[in-house]
């Protein structure tokens, strides 16, 4: 051990009691910052700086559709923890289910046997998926769901190839990052990524096809055929993975006709179609699943985010035969399908059914879309408003004719909205799309309030 390291080790040992640091100064400073509610200053010295943060605020608690900062100010939460707390904060049914399960049992690992909330949630998920999707593997997150889907596809088909769409986001683990390309930052410095992954253009209707859905679909299908003709034969492709509406990539809906053509192509060649519904699923888009708009049924659906309203939980759902062919022990998890998360998931799906929240998402989504389109008609900085249900984006451009992306104005608008009391986030490869993700039990009055604050933020921001 070099002398400096030796001194450091000795100092640490002297300041510790049985390995527990008793550094009074640091602990006292942390307590003082916590008492002041300055969680930013409390966190920054020792939290990794790796996370990009939308806001530098310190948050205290949430109640319904309001998120409160430590100064006691309530913000209308149209970010929902990036499409996760879809029933808002401190939801009575979800909170009660979590407390009840926490009182009974926190964890066993599902490899040890069977638990009521886990079994119940699997059967409820099978109920809300179209036939023949009836078999669930639980994990902890969206990226884990994608990993599971990709591993299943390779193992079951015995083929190596995986095809994903340019601009997609599927998560940060190596497998998920290999099929992700919404930002170069998610891939930079991580090569070599997973081999035999091929990226193909997404039918991005606004950005590349002048609002022409048919041309976008035809262009993307032609590109896919070129890929299959020149780079990897269809017989070597295990799966094609797609977000029915690209989320992080800019809230870009895939045209329904394109999804149907994709389904047909997969059927023709025995390729598994994976729908990544991590952001779009669980009633977010005015349907339980975004793929329903096209009438297709994928082979595997990836679910996470809103499934447990904020507790970590992910899942893949497929027909039984696929998961039987995957093979016992071919994949696994310690925490996945934790009973507390599953109890929350049961409460989420029950609440959606009892309160008709799929219909609410569709109806409030129409109000939001209409309101944003009215704002766009008065403000040329917004080039496009698009989405389904309560997943709606407003794309900022420097020039309506060239559609040159304007991430700077978009970022300024997010901050201006927050100043006024509205939390919205941005997305898109150029960070130029404001994304509206209100809770799925949002009211018309709240949609109106959110639109008013967005309009005021735009008016307060001078146009160039
Ligand atoms: C479509 C999609 N897939 C996967 C993920 C990854 O989910 P997680 O962050 O839970 O790993 C996300 C996260 O934003 C997502 O939007």
**Chain center to CA of 241:** 15
The number of the ligand 1 atom at minimal distance from the alpha carbon of 173 is 11
Over its C-alpha atoms, the chain yields an Rg (Å, rounded) of 23
Which is it for strands 422-423 and 74-77: parallel, antiparallel or unpaired? Answer: parallel
**Does pLDDT of 71 surpass 70?**
yes
- Structure confidence at residue 247 as a pLDDT band (50, 70, 90): very high
The number of the ligand 1 atom at minimal distance from the alpha carbon of 168 is 1
Q: What is the DSSP string of 418-442?
A: HHHTEE-EEESTTS-EEEE---TT-
Answer whether 129's CB lies under 8 Å from 324's CB.
no
The number of the ligand 1 atom at minimal distance from the alpha carbon of 140 is 10
Answer whether 427's CB lies under 8 Å from 351's CB.
no
Alpha-carbon separation of residue 251 from 59, 243, 311, 339, 392 (angstroms) = 27, 10, 24, 32, 7
pLDDT-above-90 percentage for the chain: 92
pLDDT at 462: 83
Distance 145 CA to ligand 1 centre (A): 9
Mutation choice for ligand 1 from 143, 241, 246, 314, CB with most ligand atoms inside 8 A: 143
Contacts (Cβ under 8 Å, ≥6 apart) of 80:
86, 88, 306, 437, 438, 439
Which is it for strands 237-242 and 272-276: parallel, antiparallel or unpaired? Answer: parallel
Q: What is the pLDDT of residues 431-445, one digit of tens each?
A: 999 999 999 999 999
Answer whether 424's CB lies under 8 Å from 436's CB.
yes
Ligand 1 lining (C-beta closer than 6 Å): 82, 141-143, 146, 169-171, 243, 247-248, 276, 278-279, 304
Burial bucket for residue 412 (CB in 10 Å: 0-12, 13-18, 19+): middle
User: What DSSP element (H or E) covers 367?
Assistant: helix 357-378
The number of the ligand 1 atom at minimal distance from the alpha carbon of 246 is 1
Residue 293, token pair as written in the block:
């708009």
Distance 133 CA to ligand 1 centre (A): 21
Buried b (16+ CB within 10 A) or exposed e, 243-276: bbbbbbbbbbbbbbbbbebbbebbeeeebbbbbb
Mutation choice for ligand 1 from 147, 250, 301, 305, CB with most ligand atoms inside 8 A: 305
Buried b (16+ CB within 10 A) or exposed e, 157-181: bebebbbbbbbbbbbeeebbbbbbb
User: Which residue's alpha carbon is at the smallest distance from atom 16 of ligand 1?
Assistant: 279
Mutation choice for ligand 1 from 50, 81, 164, 169, CB with most ligand atoms inside 8 A: 169
Distance 277 CA to ligand 1 centre (A): 9
Residue 275, token pair as written in the block:
């729908």
- Structure confidence at residue 132 as a pLDDT band (50, 70, 90): very high
Determine the average pLDDT of the residues in 389-416. Answer: 96
Other beta carbons less than 10 A from residue 278's beta carbon? 29
Nearest to 179 by CA among 264, 260, 240: 240
Q: What is the pLDDT of residues 313-357, one digit of tens each?
A: 999 999 999 999 999 999 999 999 999 999 999 999 999 999 999
d(CA 445, CA 450): 9
pLDDT at 19: 59
Total residues belonging to the chain: 464
Residue 218, token pair as written in the block:
């035809």
Answer whether 413's CB lies under 8 Å from 458's CB.
yes
The number of the ligand 1 atom at minimal distance from the alpha carbon of 304 is 10
pLDDT-above-70 percentage for the chain: 97
Averaged pLDDT of the chain: 96
pLDDT at 234: 98
**Chain center to CA of 448:** 25
Alpha-carbon separation of residue 170 from 166, 176, 180, 232, 448 (angstroms) = 11, 5, 6, 22, 32
Distance 142 CA to ligand 1 centre (A): 4
Distance 99 CA to ligand 1 centre (A): 27
Question: Which residue(s) pair with 67 in the sheet?
Answer: 62, 75
Distance 168 CA to ligand 1 centre (A): 10
């Amino acid at each position: 051990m070099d002398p400096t390291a030796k001194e450091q080790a000795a100092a640490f040992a002297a300041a510790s009691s049985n390995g527990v640091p008793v550094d009074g100064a640091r602990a006292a400073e942390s307590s003082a910052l916590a008492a002041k509610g300055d969680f930013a200053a409390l966190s920054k010295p020792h939290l990794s700086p790796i996370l990009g943060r939308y806001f530098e605020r310190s948050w205290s608690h949430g109640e319904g559709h309001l998120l409160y900062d430590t100064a006691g100010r309530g913000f209308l939460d149209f970010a929902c923890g990036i499409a996760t707390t879809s029933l808002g904060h401190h939801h009575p049914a979800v909170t009660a289910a979590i407390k009840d399960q926490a009182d009974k049992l926190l964890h066993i690992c599902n490899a040890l046997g069977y638990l009521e909330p886990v079994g119940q949630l699997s059967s409820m998920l099978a109920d809300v998926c179209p036939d023949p999707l009836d078999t669930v593997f639980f994990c902890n997150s969206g990226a884990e769901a994608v990993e599971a889907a990709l591993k299943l596809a390779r193992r079951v088909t015995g083929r190596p190839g995986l095809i994903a769409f340019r601009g997609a986001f599927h998560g940060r683990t190596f497998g998920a990052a290999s099929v992700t390309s919404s930002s170069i930052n998610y891939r930079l410095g991580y090569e070599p990524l997973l081999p035999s992954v091929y990226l193909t253009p997404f039918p991005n209707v606004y950005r590349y096809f002048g609002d022409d859905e048919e041309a976008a679909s035809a262009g993307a299908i032609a590109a896919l055929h070129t890929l299959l003709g020149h780079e990897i034969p269809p017989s070597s492709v295990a799966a094609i993975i797609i977000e029915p509406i690209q989320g992080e990539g800019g809230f870009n809906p895939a045209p329904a006709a394109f999804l149907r053509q994709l389904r047909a192509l997969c059927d023709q060649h025995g390729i598994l179609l994976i729908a990544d519904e991590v952001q779009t699923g669980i009633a977010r888009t005015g349907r339980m699943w975004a793929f329903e708009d096209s009438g297709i049924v994928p082979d595997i659906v990836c679910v996470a985010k809103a499934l447990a309203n904020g507790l970590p939980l992910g899942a893949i759902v497929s027909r039984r035969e696929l998961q039987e062919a995957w093979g016992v022990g071919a994949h696994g998890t310690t925490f996945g399908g934790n009973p507390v998360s599953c109890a929350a998931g049961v409460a989420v799906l029950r609440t959606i059914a009892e309160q008709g929240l799929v219909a609410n998402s569709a109806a409030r989504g129409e109000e939001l879309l209409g309101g944003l389109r009215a704002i766009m008609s008065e403000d040329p900085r917004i080039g496009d408003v698009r989405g389904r249900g309560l997943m709606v984006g407003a794309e900022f451009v420097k020039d309506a004719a060239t559609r040159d992306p304007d991430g700077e104005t978009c970022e300024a608008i997010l901050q201006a909205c927050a100043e006024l009391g509205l939390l919205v986030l941005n997305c898109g490869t150029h960070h130029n799309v404001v994304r509206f993700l209100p809770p799925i039990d949002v009211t018309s009055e709240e949609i109106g309030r959110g639109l008013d604050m967005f309009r005021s933020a735009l008016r307060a921001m001078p146009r160039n």
